Amino acid sequence: MAEAASKLPDDPAELQAIIRRMTTEQTAREQHFEAEQTAREQRFEAELQARNEAIEQRDRKIEQLLERLELLRHQRFGPKADRIAKEQLALFDEAELNVLLEELDAQIDEAKTPRSPRTEPQQTPKRRPLPAHLPRVERILDLSAEEQAAIAETHVHIGLDESEQLGVLPKQYYVIRTQRAKYAPIDAEVPEAEKGLRIAPRPAQILPRAIGHSSLLAEVVTGKFIDGLPLYRQEKIFAREGIELSRQTLSGWLVQLATPLAPVMAALKPHLTRGPVLQVDETPVQVLDEPGRANTTKSYMWVYRGGPPDHPVVWFQYAASRAGEVPIEFLFPEGADPPPEHRFYLQTDGYAAYHALAEQDGIRGHMGCWAHVRRKAVEATKGRTRNGAAHALVALIGKLYAIERRLRGTSAEHRYAVRLAESKPILDEIKAWLDDKARKVLPKGLLGEAIQYTRKQWPILVTFLEDGHLEIDNNRAENAIRPFAVGRKAWLFSGSPKGAETSAMLYTLVETAKAAGLEPRAYLHYLFETLPTATTPDALEALLPHRLTPDDLKIPAPEL
């Protein structure tokens, strides 16, 4: 220490300079330490924030997965209908309950209103009478002769006590043996004797070389495309009756029907786009032996429901793709647009491929589907958190459907006026509700996805206000496609593209017949029996479902 002090200069100015330099160095060291400390703290805070964000993101992901697990559990084991329990209204918070305040007040007032006591005893359920068109087999039961003799002096016969039971006769197959008269010339001098035998012409048949009559063909088509019976099951049913008809034979019949039925389809197709609305939907179908495609590749069955309101048309189209070009090429081949009087509204779900179709000149407007919106909202109510806001959205949509139920069966003009007066304010309320909730919910949660879907589809969800012919949802198209989806669970796939095209043709005929109020099997029997003699456009037009009534389809049964 003394040695260091001895080295210090004696000049005060030099000492002051040394002190200032040491002070500056100390200050620099302190500032450097503080900067390093601040940098370490900032790095720590950044790491902590990133870790917290990662934890928060993981928690959100876990919550979303748990929510979907709860939804899947409900879909697997819960009711399939898109309903929510009325008691779920109790989960709303105060702000959400304001949405349904008027309905709740009305329910409370109704509950407080004293009800008049029941003056009549409650009626027990009554058995519905059996259909009057069924034949009756009379069976009269009486007392034995001894019992009648025993009460002859004390009782008198006053009538019969009647009751009815429904019975069934086993299906009866029969063989139509056709015998054609043959004539031979007496000698060579008879005119045209060189032609040999003359035979009565064969009767016109839809499949001349088939062993199956038109009635049996109608039975096979009905079994597969209405009752969902695959051909291998029908083969076993025939075998129980001692009839050998292989599934290959039955399949061959169905494929062969495509050729004679083509003119009927050509006559029916123009009616599809002659109505104010065309509804479209699609569903997967497995088709084997498609050129250049694996058997596991999905194909699609497109369904179109249109036509004038008094005779709707349901059309099925098989396509190997789900691309938007499929309906465009079907409805507007080679860019052909319908005349202005045949322009129509398009109604679909939210599938993006339909937007290109909606831009075609033949489309008046594009209408969305509120059933899909409601379905997503109901799914949100079944999530893990049981969000009361989802119930509020379902309740608001329920207001729209309540108006539609009241308007069912009324004129298009009346529907248009009531929707503007009553539905539009509800739509405005829903839009404001969506905009408010979109900022408060998780975008990837069930409710967030329902809100985002609805906001994205909003421009086409309000189109139904433009025309009273429009429906609030696409359920009619979905109902038309349901028989195909149910049958698909039984027969699983089509064996070839030709088979898929034939299935589309036959589904078109049976579903259009059902939409026209005809019994499908009776219509098919009448069509198969009559079509071979229909050789003019007018005759083909007369075979379309909307040109027939149930009485027209009655074909006399053979006398056995």
Q: Which of 290-299, 336-345, 379-388, 396-405 has the lowest mean pLDDT?
A: 379-388
Indicate the average pLDDT of the chain.
Answer: 84
* Residue from 198, 158, 168 nearest 182 by CA: 198
Most confident option among 101-110, 112-121, 126-135, 417-426? 417-426
> Nearest 5 degrees, angle CA 288-CA 325-CA 493?
20
- What is the band of 243 on the pLDDT scale with cuts at 50, 70, 90? very high
pLDDT at residue 462, rounded to an integer: 94
Per-residue pLDDT tens over the stretch 337-385: 666 667 899 999 888 889 889 998 889 999 999 999 998 888 888 766 6
Q: Which of 386-390, 491-495, 544-548 has the lowest mean pLDDT?
A: 386-390
Q: Which of 87-91, 229-233, 239-243, 311-315 has the lowest mean pLDDT?
A: 87-91
CB 531 within 8 A of CB 206: yes
Strand 198-199 to 182-183 pairing: antiparallel
Helix (H) or strand (E) segment spanning residue 303? strand 298-306
pLDDT at residue 81, rounded to an integer: 54
pLDDT at residue 94, rounded to an integer: 40
- What is the band of 211 on the pLDDT scale with cuts at 50, 70, 90? very high
Q: How far is CA 228 from CA 18, 173, 224, 370, in A?
A: 104, 21, 5, 30
Question: Residue 417 corresponds to which amino acid?
Answer: A
Report percent pLDDT > 70 for the chain.
84
Average pLDDT over residues 242-256: 94
User: In 3-state terms, what secondary structure has residue 119?
Assistant: coil
According to DSSP, the residues that pair with 316 across neighbouring strands are: 303
**Beta strands per DSSP E along 472-536:** 493-494
- What is the band of 93 on the pLDDT scale with cuts at 50, 70, 90? very low
More reliable by pLDDT, 287 or 123: 287
Is the per-residue pLDDT at 327 higher than 90? yes
CB 254 within 8 A of CB 506: yes
Average pLDDT over residues 294-323: 92
pLDDT at residue 97, rounded to an integer: 44
Is the per-residue pLDDT at 113 higher than 60? no
Q: What is the DSSP string of 157-189?
A: ------------PPP----------EE--SSTT
According to DSSP, the residues that pair with 301 across neighbouring strands are: 283, 318
User: In 3-state terms, what secondary structure has residue 83?
Assistant: coil
Write the CB contacts of 105 (distance below 8 Å, at least 6 apart in sequence).
none
pLDDT at residue 41, rounded to an integer: 82
Per-residue pLDDT tens over the stretch 538-556: 999 999 999 999 999 988 7
Most confident option among 6-10, 83-87, 102-106? 6-10
Write the CB contacts of 104 (distance below 8 Å, at least 6 apart in sequence).
89, 97
CA distance 320 to 298: 7
pTM: 0.76
- What is the band of 32 on the pLDDT scale with cuts at 50, 70, 90? confident
pLDDT at residue 79, rounded to an integer: 60
Most confident option among 18-32, 47-61, 413-427? 413-427
User: In 3-state terms, what secondary structure has residue 519?
Assistant: coil
* Residue from 542, 501, 462, 479 nearest 305 by CA: 479
pLDDT at residue 338, rounded to an integer: 67
pLDDT at residue 280, rounded to an integer: 94
CA distance 248 to 493: 15
* Residue from 306, 304, 303 nearest 276 by CA: 306
CB 365 within 8 A of CB 463: yes
CA distance 512 to 149: 63
Q: Show the DSSP H helices in 408-545 as ranges.
A: 412-418, 424-437, 446-461, 475-491, 497-515, 520-530, 537-541
pLDDT at residue 44, rounded to an integer: 82
Average pLDDT over residues 2-28: 75
- What is the band of 95 on the pLDDT scale with cuts at 50, 70, 90? very low
- What is the band of 465 on the pLDDT scale with cuts at 50, 70, 90? very high
pLDDT at residue 391, rounded to an integer: 86
pLDDT at residue 96, rounded to an integer: 43
User: In 3-state terms, what secondary structure has residue 367?
Assistant: strand
CA distance 234 to 269: 31
> DSSP state, 531?
G
CA distance 521 to 78: 36
More reliable by pLDDT, 78 or 491: 491
Is the per-residue pLDDT at 104 higher than 60? no
CA distance 150 to 540: 70
